[in-house]
Amino acid sequence: MSRHTITVPCTIEIEQTHDCFHAHLVLDGDIAIGPGDQVQLLGDPIRIAFGQKLSERRHATIRRAGALRRAWTRISARFALQELYEVSFTPARTL
């Protein structure tokens, strides 16, 4: 393991129901994740059936980004955010 890679315990919460479909990873401790950092959940793939919720303890590996990758991520994120903007004009209704 390099000085830019750490492994920490975490909790993974997964829900696949009619109301919600999500997966959240919560790292133990006060670990800040910065732009360009990568987090990889360790262990076998998790599969749950529709209508189920799961909370499981695992470990995650955090790979810290270098200065160049961190800067590139910040710059490219500004352009990617603009792709999310959508403007539409609806004609006014007349009664």
**pTM exceeding the 0.85 threshold for the entire prediction:** no
- Condensed to tens digits (0 to 9), the pLDDT of residues 23-78 reads 999 999 989 999 999 999 999 999 999 999 999 999 999 999 999 999 999 988 88
| pLDDT at res. 48 | 93
Residue 1 has pLDDT above 60, yes or no: no
Given a contact cutoff of 8 angstroms between Cβ atoms, the answer to whether 25 and 39 are in contact is yes
| pLDDT at res. 79 | 77
Distance from chain centroid for Cα 42: 15
Angle, CA 28 vertex, CA 75 and CA 48 arms, to 5°: 90
Cα separation, 71 vs 51, in Å, equals 41
Q: Where are the domains of the chain?
A: 5-82
